[in-house]
């Protein structure tokens, strides 16, 4: 066996009560066949029967999860997605993510022929491992593996993957940079500020705290389903994503001419590369960052493509303090933004700049785009939860989804008359009653997180149809 089983158990986050089940799941038939006859009796059975059982468990769990997450998808669509998730290719990728090949017990011939990397062999071993987990710990344990590696959900490790390589390079350069600064500052001690030192050392820091490689990989996996595509040119509807060239300040539009050959997953990672948070993404020998740098909304892209009805969702609204919240037990006083900490001060300034630029443009929309209806949806300026929750806060994503959905629904209800007239011009029917039913439907769910996760996984249309049928 190529690696310690304890490392595999750590990856699974599960300790086997019966370690022999785990060993059996990792034992290929070639390992038994090549053992001498006397020793063969001491070798555990191979993993073929466990593979048979694991295949059934996998099919059941995948079917259950798909039915739960996609309640409006027809049987044909569910079957396509299931076929992809249980395919040998997909299981092979999941087994590679677990580094399962390192733990296999193989015969010499299979070892020499590259068995640890073979697609079918790894896929079968993963199914056997699912069965071993089921027999040792029950269905919830087997289900956890399937959800983590096969029916994958986005996790913090994918969205916030540390830029390890550049941090390592910076660590090597830092002592030399420090020595260089000390020499350049020699004889100027009375004229040097702490900011001079900080900025001088900052030159060797990484180009971003995180790498967006995890985002690209997640999107590539999601778009690999048989009824999806990772190619702009194969989409039924047009899709455009904007990014900014860090060197030339030029806006790049993925999906347009000359840039439609870039995979959608790569375009997403570049378009969302917030400067200094994520390192720039290199595409066609260009370093690209967030597409909102040149233009906050990029509305002109949609209008030039022929859009007549545009919905702009802007979460970056500065917080207008109403001073209703008081702090301090001995000497109570109104809470100020500065009391919320250094990050919130920077966040407030960042939001204010983005908000001001957007609304300066919004005042010109009617003149610049005659005949185009543009609806702007934003949080209320006194929405403290939206302000205090950082856009990088992964743990609060479901709570923010719920809060955002409820607040937007209320906003739609308040502006119902105006929005209904706008929608009617474009052949879209909306119903204030139906929108309210959506909130009522999810409020009735027992498990709040599970209920509101569906908001992230379904379209609004699906939610409305579901609520209307009740």
**H-type alpha helices, 259-396:** 264-271, 299-304, 342-362, 365-368, 384-388
What's the chain's Rg over C-alpha atoms?
28
Which tokens go with 228?
A: 């999806």
Q: How many CB atoms lie within 10 A of CB 119?
A: 15
Burial class (CB in 10 A: 0-12, 13-18, 19+), 130: buried
Burial class (CB in 10 A: 0-12, 13-18, 19+), 35: middle
Q: Does the annotation count 406 as an active-site position?
A: no
Please state, in angstroms and as integers, the Cα–Cα distance from residue 424 to each residue in 260, 326, 416, 462, following that order: 33, 46, 12, 20
Of the candidates 93, 127, 245, 378, the residue annotated as catalytic is 127
User: Are 150 and 55 in contact, with CB atoms under 8 Å apart?
Assistant: no
Q: CB neighbours of 165 closer than 8 A, spacing ≥ 6?
A: none
Which tokens go with 349?
A: 């300034």
Of the candidates 55, 136, 373, 383, the residue annotated as catalytic is 55
Query: How far is it, in rounded angstroms, from Cα 422 to Cα 376?
Result: 12
Partners of 282 in the beta sheet? Answer: 287
Query: How far is it, in rounded angstroms, from Cα 319 to Cα 455?
Result: 25
DSSP string computed for 185-219: HTT-GGG--HHHHHHHHHTTS-SEEEETHHHHHHH
Burial class (CB in 10 A: 0-12, 13-18, 19+), 258: exposed
Q: Does the annotation count 166 as an active-site position?
A: no
Query: How far is it, in rounded angstroms, from Cα 295 to Cα 288?
Result: 14
Which tokens go with 327?
A: 């702090």
Active-site residues, by number, are 55, 127
């Amino acid at each position: 066996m190529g690696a310690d089983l304890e490392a595999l158990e750590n990856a699974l986050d599960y300790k086997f009560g019966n370690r022999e089940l785990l060993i059996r799941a990792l034992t290929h038939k070639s390992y038994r066949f090549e053992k001498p006859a006397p020793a063969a009796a001491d070798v555990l059975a191979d993993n073929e029967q466990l593979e048979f059982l694991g295949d059934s468990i996998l099919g059941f769990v995948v079917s259950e999860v798909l039915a739960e997450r996609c309640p409006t998808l027809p049987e044909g669509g569910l079957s396509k997605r299931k076929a992809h998730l249980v395919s040998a290719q997909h299981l092979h990728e999941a087994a590679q993510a677990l580094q399962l090949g390192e733990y296999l017990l193989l015969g010499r011939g299979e070892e020499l022929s590259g068995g640890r990397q073979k697609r079918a062999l790894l896929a079968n071993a993963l199914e056997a491992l699912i069965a071993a987990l089921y027999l040792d710990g029950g269905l919830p344990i087997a289900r956890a593996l399937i959800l983590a590696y096969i029916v994958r959900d986005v996790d913090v490790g994918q969205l916030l993957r540390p830029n390890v390589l550049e941090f390592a390079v910076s660590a090597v350069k830092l002592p030399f940079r420090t020595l260089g600064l000390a020499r350049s500052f020699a004889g100027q001690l009375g004229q040097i500020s702490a900011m001079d030192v900080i900025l001088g050392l900052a030159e060797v820091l990484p180009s971003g705290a995180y790498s967006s490689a995890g985002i690209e990989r997640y999107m590539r996996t999601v778009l690999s389903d048989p009824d999806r595509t990772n190619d702009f040119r194969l989409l039924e509807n047009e899709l455009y994503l904007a990014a900014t060239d860090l060197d030339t300040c030029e806006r790049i539009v993925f999906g347009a001419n000359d840039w439609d050959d870039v995979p959608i997953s790569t375009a997403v990672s570049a378009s969302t590369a917030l400067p200094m948070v994520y390192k720039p993404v290199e595409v066609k020998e260009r370093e690209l960052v967030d597409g909102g740098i040149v233009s906050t909304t990029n509305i002109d892209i949609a209008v030039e493509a022929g859009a007549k009805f545009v919905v702009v969702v802007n979460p970056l609204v500065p917080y207008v303090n109403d001073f209703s919240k008081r702090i301090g037990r001995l000497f109570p006083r109104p809470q100020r933004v500065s009391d919320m900490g250094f990050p919130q001060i920077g966040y407030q300034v960042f939001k204010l700049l983005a908000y001001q630029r957007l609304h300066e443009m919004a005042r010109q929309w009617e003149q610049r785009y005659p005949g185009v209806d543009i609806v702007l949806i934003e949080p209320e300026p006194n929405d403290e939860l939206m302000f205090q929750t950082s856009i990088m806060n992964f743990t609060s994503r479901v709570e923010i989804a719920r809060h955002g959905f409820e607040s937007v629904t209320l906003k739609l209800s308040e502006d119902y008359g105006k929005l209904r007239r706008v929608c009617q011009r474009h052949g879209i029917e909306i119903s204030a009653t139906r929108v309210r039913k959506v909130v009522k439907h999810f409020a009735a769910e027992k498990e709040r997180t599970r209920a509101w996760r569906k908001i992230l996984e379904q379209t609004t249309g699906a939610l409305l149809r579901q609520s209307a049928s009740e």
